[in-house]
Amino acid sequence: MQLTKNIKRQIRELPGLLYQKELNAELTKLDAHFGQWRQGSLSPFDLVEHIHEFHQKPARELYSRFSFLNLAQKQTMKSTIFLLFLILLLTNCSQDNKPADTQTTDGYELVWSDEFEQPGLPDSTKWNYDAGGHGWGNRELQFYTHRRRENARVEGGKLIIEARKEQWDTSNYTSAKLVSRGNQSWLYGKFEVSAKLPKGRGTWPAVWMMPEKDTHGGWPASGEIDIMEHVGFNPGVVHGSVHTEAYNHVIGTNKSDTLVVPGAMDAFHVYAVEWSADSLFFLIDGERYHSFANEHKTYKEWPYDHPFYLILNIAVGGNWGGQKGIDDSIWPQKMEVDYVRVYQKK
């Protein structure tokens, strides 16, 4: 649930607090209670009682382990966490008890999301895999595996895509490429991915979209939307691009722009695109840095009139990612994803 995910994030950020496994377990229990409350099977009074139990018992036992804190610091920490729960609870109640799947932002309504709360393999009702090691048209060096935890898993409330240096089939590296194809695709909307990127020469992480069907023909005729690309030899420079028959990198006409994000490999940032019938706007942390307009000519300029699906992956090397070689001392490398959210106009 997004409510308790925000609580977890704020607790993790409290100064001096070690985020223990026991605390995560208690927060997971509270997550279930919030879910019951949203479904109407738990009264607000019972929910407050569960919060009170967390404050009185599990939290107190955990705080006693922080011997490096004095009594006043422990009491401040306890009070802060309890107030976080109460404030967020009251805030949620004031929003007409609106369920999570109708969350709104800027005139959009949430229609699909993955908050990565269930540990294990990625949710198969939301994600499929592209697998193989044939270079993927870019001379990439990784083998994308299928349902292998070492390369794709959910842990600690985040999706982990991990690229590793290891022999697999005829490749010397493994990674994962998750796709929503076959489960969900969309025509227009706002697409947000909160992610922390891998670092090092040879990494090539991407958040992007491809057409569910080749309505106008094979690549690039039916379009491509690159919400985020980052190559490790140029740290912190994030790219947003489109590829169409008229505008693509093969013929040197692709439409793209960049934004420097100094903490892209050390902190989470929200990479987004707003897609309508008339335009594509690319954003990072809410800042718009690139746009592409519908010229209202032919599909060659604007093929974005049919559903696209989401893709999350880390490539290794390749025509672009490997331009400056590969640093074999950096592996494994991870892209961590806090959430993926899709909104559409109300």
DSSP, res 230:
-
Number of Cα atoms under 13 Å in the Cβ half of residue 103: 13
Q: What is the CA radius of gyration of the chain?
A: 22
- Marked catalytic residue, from 140, 192, 229, 274: 229
Provide the sign of the torsion angle of the four alpha carbons 245, 246, 248, 252, taken in this order: positive
Catalytic residue check, 224? yes
- Provide DSSP, 155-221: ETTEEEEEEEEEEETTEEEEE-EEE-TTT--BSSEEEEEEEE---STTEEEEEEEEESS-TT-TTTT
Total residue count of the chain as it appears in this document: 346
The closest alpha carbon to 251, from 284, 285, 214, 300, belongs to 300
CA pair distance 127, 113, nearest whole angstrom: 11
Burial group, residue 24, by CB count within 10 angstroms (0-12, 13-18, 19+)? middle
Cα separation of the two ends of the chain? 22
Whether the CB-CB separation of 201 and 325 falls below 8 Å is answered with yes
- Marked catalytic residue, from 224, 245, 274, 336: 224
The residues that are catalytic are 224, 229
